[in-house]
């Protein structure tokens, strides 16, 4: 028992002296949950692999103590996320190894401050997406390891456009979706300044027509295999955009003359409908102007019910001079004769309705 305690004490003392005095500190496999703070601030190489470090806020403060670090190994820990501005205090860092963790997300500014970084290892993680605008401030980056992740697409050419040295990048073991979205990466990988490691096993996983294609060959593959027509990143294809009445029509013309395809926008149906309605309306207006008689006929053709007259009475008063043609004396009597018309002539209704188009002159001739 005493022997065991002595060995533990000696081991702890050895580790402590190694951490305090050495510029190359190896604390691999020590079951650490946080970055130690008792190591020398002159430490240049710190190996913390095979521990349980998660890179929390406390760890960020601890890392800030080691301003002279040039190499940091955090392989096989419990890191799940790379937060923004986490390594800002390590301006001299040249090698950052984060291999074999559980990293799923990477912040846009997570590498900010690493102006001297030469090697970045993010392999064997669970990264599904790397921001296109990720800040990689180092112009001296020489190796970038991204193999064995869950990446389906990648576009970091703008983030690395200022590189002054050739870059070795490793991308195998990812389920690459070799459609239009990956054409940009394929073109970038064919640049002289980029070297794709393990090129023969860096293959497409989708679509089915592109399975087992090398991702560097995408930009030269037929458009129908990619599941899209044309791309602005393909050097052999130019894209023209045509705007018609609010509708967009994309016309892709291949320079070599092998492909010429036009793709209609989503509002094409709406455009056709507007044109049809406009034509029909124009025809109706033209018909109304050129042939007005049918319009007048519709407006003027009205039926009116015959007006029924009430029976009326009338009286006529007149004087009658009776001359008996005799020798008798003339009698001057004013006699009033009253004629009463009890009923006026009312034609029987025959069920017909007066038509205003029958001229009165025609009626007189008929009578």
**Domain-located, residue 60:** yes
pLDDT digits (tens, 9 = 90+) for 2-33: 544 444 444 444 444 456 556 899 999 999 99
**Cα–Cα dist 158/3, whole Å:** 60
pLDDT digits (tens, 9 = 90+) for 226-250: 666 544 444 443 333 333 334 444 4
- Identify the pLDDT of residue 311: 53
Quick check: 108 and 132 in contact, CB under 8 A? no
How many structural domains are present in the chain? 1
A 10 A CB-CB count for 224 gives 11
Q: At 304, phi and psi to the nearest 5?
A: -125, 135
Question: Given a cut of 80, is residue 332 above it in pLDDT?
Answer: no
**Domain-located, residue 12:** no
To the nearest whole number, what is the mean pLDDT of the chain? 75
Give the tokens for residue 173.
């073991």
Give the tokens for residue 179.
């459609």
**Cα–Cα dist 195/318, whole Å:** 135
Question: Given a cut of 60, is residue 358 above it in pLDDT?
Answer: no
Long-range CB pairs of 235-244 (<8 Å, 24+ gap) are: 235/187, 244/271
Beta bridge partners of 196: 169
- Identify the pLDDT of residue 287: 75
Long-range CB pairs of 262-271 (<8 Å, 24+ gap) are: 263/229, 270/246, 271/244, 271/245, 271/246, 271/247
Q: Which of 54-58, 158-162, 274-278, 297-301 has the lowest mean pLDDT?
A: 297-301
CA gyration radius for the chain?
51
Structural domain span for residue 232: 18-239
pLDDT tier at 315 (50, 70, 90 boundaries)? very low
Quick check: 124 and 148 in contact, CB under 8 A? yes
- Identify the pLDDT of residue 227: 64
**Domain-located, residue 363:** no
Q: pTM for this structure?
A: 0.59
**Domain-located, residue 105:** yes
Question: Given a cut of 70, is residue 353 above it in pLDDT?
Answer: no
Using a 10 angstrom Cβ sphere, with 0-12 exposed, 13-18 middle and 19 or more buried, the burial of residue 77 is: buried
Quick check: 154 and 185 in contact, CB under 8 A? yes
- Identify the pLDDT of residue 255: 38
**Domain-located, residue 294:** no
Classified as helix, coil or strand, 292 is coil
| Nearest CA among 133, 168, 140 for reference residue 154 | 133
pLDDT tier at 264 (50, 70, 90 boundaries)? very low
Q: Which residues contact 240 (CB under 8 A, 6 or more apart)?
A: 250, 251, 252, 253
Q: What CATH number did the domain enclosing 153 receive?
A: 3.80.10.10
Average the pLDDT over 196-214 and give the result: 91
**Domain-located, residue 160:** yes
**Domain-located, residue 58:** yes
pLDDT digits (tens, 9 = 90+) for 82-115: 999 999 989 999 999 999 999 999 999 999 999 9
- Identify the pLDDT of residue 10: 42
Q: Which residue has the tokens 């045509």?
A: 242
**Domain-located, residue 291:** no
> Count of alpha carbons within 13 Å of 12, Cβ hemisphere only?
6
- Identify the pLDDT of residue 230: 44
- Identify the pLDDT of residue 291: 66
Quick check: 66 and 92 in contact, CB under 8 A? no
């Amino acid at each position: 028992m005493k022997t065991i305690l002595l060995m533990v004490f000696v081991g702890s003392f050895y580790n402590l002296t190694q951490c305090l005095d050495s510029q190359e500190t190896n604390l691999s496999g020590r079951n650490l949950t946080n970055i130690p703070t008792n190591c020398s601030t002159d430490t240049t190489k710190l190996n913390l692999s095979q521990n349980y470090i998660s890179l929390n806020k406390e760890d960020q403060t601890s890392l800030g103590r080691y301003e002279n670090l040039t190499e940091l190994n955090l392989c096989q820990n419990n890191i799940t996320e790379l937060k923004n501005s986490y390594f800002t205090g390590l301006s001299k860092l040249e090698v950052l190894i984060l291999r074999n963790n559980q990293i799923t997300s990477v912040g846009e500014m997570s590498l900010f401050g690493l102006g001297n970084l030469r090697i970045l290892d993010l392999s064997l993680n669970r990264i599904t997406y790397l921001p296109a605008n990720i800040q990689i401030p180092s112009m001296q980056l020489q190796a970038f390891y991204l193999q064995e992740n869950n990446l389906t697409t990648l576009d970091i050419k703008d983030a690395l456009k200022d590189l002054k040295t050739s870059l070795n990048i490793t991308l195998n073991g990812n389920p690459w979706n070799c459609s239009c979205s990956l054409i940009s990466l394929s073109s970038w990988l064919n640049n002289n300044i980029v070297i794709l490691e393990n090129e023969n096993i860096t293959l497409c996983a989708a679509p089915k027509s592109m399975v087992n294609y090398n991702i560097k060959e995408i930009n030269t593959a037929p458009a129908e295999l990619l599941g899209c027509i044309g791309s602005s990143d393909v050097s052999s294809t130019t894209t023209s955009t045509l705007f018609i009445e609010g509708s967009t029509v994309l016309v892709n013309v291949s320079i070599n003359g092998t492909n010429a395809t036009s793709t209609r926008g989503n509002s094409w149906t709406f455009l056709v409908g507007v044109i049809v309605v406009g034509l029909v309306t124009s025809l109706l207006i033209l018909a109304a102007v050129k042939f007005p008689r049918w319009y007048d006929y519709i407006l003027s053709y009205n039926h009116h019910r015959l007006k029924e007259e009430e029976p009326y009475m009338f009286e006529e008063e007149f004087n009658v001079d009776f001359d008996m043609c005799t020798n008798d004396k003339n009698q001057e009597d004013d006699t009033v004769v009253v004629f009463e018309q009890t009923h006026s002539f009312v034609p029987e209704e025959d069920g017909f309705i007066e038509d205003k188009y029958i001229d009165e002159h025609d009626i007189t001739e008929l009578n």
